Amino acid sequence: MSTPHVLLGLLAGGPRHGYELKRAHDERMPRAKPLAFGQVYATLGRLERDGLVEQAEKDQDGGPERVAYALTSRGRVALDEWLHTVETPAPYVVSALFNKVVVALLAADADRARSYLADQRAAHMARLRELTAAKTAPGASVGDVVAADFAIAHLDADLRWLQATLLRVADLYREVHA
Amino acid sequence: MTPILRGSALTRSYGPTLALRGVDVELSPGEILAVTGPSGCGKSTLLHCLSGILTPDSGAVHYRDADLTTRSEADRSKLRRTEFGVLFQYGQLVPELTAAENVALPLLLAGTGRRAAREAATSWLDRFGVADCADQRPGTMSGGQQQRCAVARALVTEPAVLFADEPTGSLDTVTGETVLTEIVRTARERGMAVLLVTHDARVAGYADRELVLLDGAADPSGLGIGIGS
Ligand SMILES: Nc1ncnc2c1ncn2[C@@H]1O[C@H](COP(=O)(O)OP(=O)(O)OP(=O)(O)O)[C@@H](O)[C@H]1O
Ligand SMILES: [Mg+2]
């Protein structure tokens, strides 16, 4: 998960409170799941424990929402390392779509797998249209476009796989039940 | 909304090949319909029948209240000049004309003056980032530049219906987006209806609806392969 590093990145411009970090995260990552406040504070707690952030200023009455956090020099190094590290292309296939096709063939038959593939395609296409409309809407920010592009490219990859797999369902069924 | 274009029970063969076997399709003003499906399923044939370039063997094509299949070729070609914009899958520009002359051509044929036609052509070329090619002939332009020029030519008359066969086939993602975004904008702002033929899901994503063809007929599974086959 990259949330700790995203928070380090958001602190690179200067100290911020937890709620500011949450707001900045949700604004910059428009199609990501919004961060929960609890997650922000828990992550900041771990980063502080590891010496990557420190409390910069604190109001008298001192609850966690009163604290502004700042990047430490170790935090800056950790952020820099992360930015220079290539993400390993996913070593395993992790997808409910893939699992569902195989299980449909094991537990039912080729028709069940096919009708699942057709329904999944319809759902993917509907989502793809929504995202395309969002990114082409007047006033869409570059951030919106880039986030929508990411989601669209992944849906498109799934759609190609759905289409190709449909052609292979009968063969896969025979293999699974050989 | 009343459809602006309607094809009913369209069939069309080429010799022994049944390319369309009873297709129904409707387009409303401002609506974008994607026609998708595997290679050879009949997408281009459907586009040609709906735009009056081909006559179907049976079935009817209504544009507003007129049945195109009963009109003369002269009537249909006038309609294509004035009401329709057609973007072919292959080879579309006149090789002897420059890009600007190609784009201006439909306006000149419709009676627009030279100067106004030239200005409109230049502005459309500019919108698609190929203004620099205005004085070049197609043979000296890249495939993608030619394609953008062809899109400009199809839109220059501000058609009521745009027929686009793989309009972004030879464009990279971002350039393709420029073209599609412009098509969508024109559809939304001026109520232009669009028949968008594509094999690319990302392009189909720009449409409001999708018609998937399989072997010349609508495929209810949407997968371009027969369920239960
Ligand atoms: N001029 C022609 N003469 C003979 N057969 C043709 C002709 N044009 C198309 N066909 C046949 O009609 C069928 C439908 O062709 P069409 O060009 O409409 O397919 P398409 O869906 O546009 O395919 P693609 O995605 O490859 O462009 C195919 O079997 C094709 O071989
Ligand atoms: Mg075709």
pLDDT in tens, A107-163: 888 888 888 888 899 999 999 999 999 998 889 999 999 999 999 999 999 999 998
B50 vs A138, residue with greater confidence: B50
Q: Does the Cβ of B42 fall within 6 Å of ligand 1? A: yes
Place of tokens 């993602």: B173
CB contact under 8 A, B225 and A167: yes
A2 vs B5, residue with greater confidence: B5
Q: Could you give the count of Cα atoms lying within 13 Å of B88 in the half-sphere of its Cβ?
A: 9
Ligand 1 atom closest to the Cα of residue B166 is 27
B49 vs B170, residue with greater confidence: B49
For chain B, give the mean pLDDT.
91
CB contact under 8 A, A152 and B202: yes
pLDDT band per the 50, 70, 90 thresholds, residue B229: very low
The CA distance from B21 to the nearest CA of chain A, in Å, is 22
pLDDT above 70 covers a percentage of chain B that reads 96
Q: What is the pLDDT of residues B69-119, one digit of tens each?
A: 898 889 888 888 889 999 987 768 999 999 999 999 999 988 899 999 999
DSSP H or E segment with residue B76: helix B73-82
Distances (CA, A) of A15 to A9, A54, A67, B163, B210: 11, 9, 10, 55, 50
Contacts of B143 (CB under 8 A, 6+ apart): B170
Q: What is the three-class DSSP state of A93? A: coil
Place of tokens 């003056």: B113
A102 vs B27, residue with greater confidence: B27
The CA distance from B68 to the nearest CA of chain A, in Å, is 32
Residue A136: CB atoms within 10 Å: 18
pLDDT band per the 50, 70, 90 thresholds, residue A1: low
pLDDT reading at A36 higher than 60: yes
Strand partners, B214: B217
The number of angstroms, rounded, from the C-alpha of B164 to the middle of its chain's C-alpha atoms is 2
User: Average pLDDT for residues B24-28, to the nearest whole number?
Assistant: 96
Distances (CA, A) of B111 to A133, B108, B114, B115, B157: 37, 5, 9, 12, 11
CB contact under 8 A, A129 and B208: yes
Residues in chain B: 229
Phi-psi region at B78: left, alpha or beta (left = phi > 0; alpha = psi -120 to 50): alpha
Between the CA of B206 and the centroid of ligand 2 the distance, in Å, is: 19
Between the CA of A165 and the centroid of ligand 2 the distance, in Å, is: 23
Q: What is the pLDDT of residues B118-156, one digit of tens each?
A: 999 999 999 999 999 999 999 999 988 998 999 999 999
Contact A52, A11 (CB under 8 A): no
pLDDT of the residue at B5: 97
Helix, strand, coil tally for chain A in percent (to 5): 70, 5, 25
The sign one gets for the Cα dihedral B202, B205, B206, B209 is positive
CA atoms of B214 and B224, how far apart (whole Å): 5
- Per-residue burial over A42-73, b if 16 or more Cβ lie within 10 Å, else e, is ebbeebbeeebbeeeeeeeeeebeebbbebbe
Q: What is the pLDDT of residues B200-220, one digit of tens each?
A: 999 999 999 999 999 999 987
CATH of domain A3-83: 1.10.10.10
Q: Does the Cβ of B19 fall within 6 Å of ligand 1? A: yes
pLDDT band per the 50, 70, 90 thresholds, residue A176: confident
Q: What angle do CA B53, B207, B27 make, to 5 degrees?
A: 50
The arrangement of strands across the sheet holding B58-63 comes to: B17-27, B5-14, B58-63, B66-67
Phi-psi region at B91: left, alpha or beta (left = phi > 0; alpha = psi -120 to 50): left
User: Average pLDDT for residues B26-53, to the nearest whole number?
Assistant: 95
CA atoms of A20 and A27, how far apart (whole Å): 11
pLDDT reading at A63 higher than 80: no
The arrangement of strands across the sheet holding B209-214 comes to: B84-87, B161-165, B193-197, B32-36, B209-214, B217-218
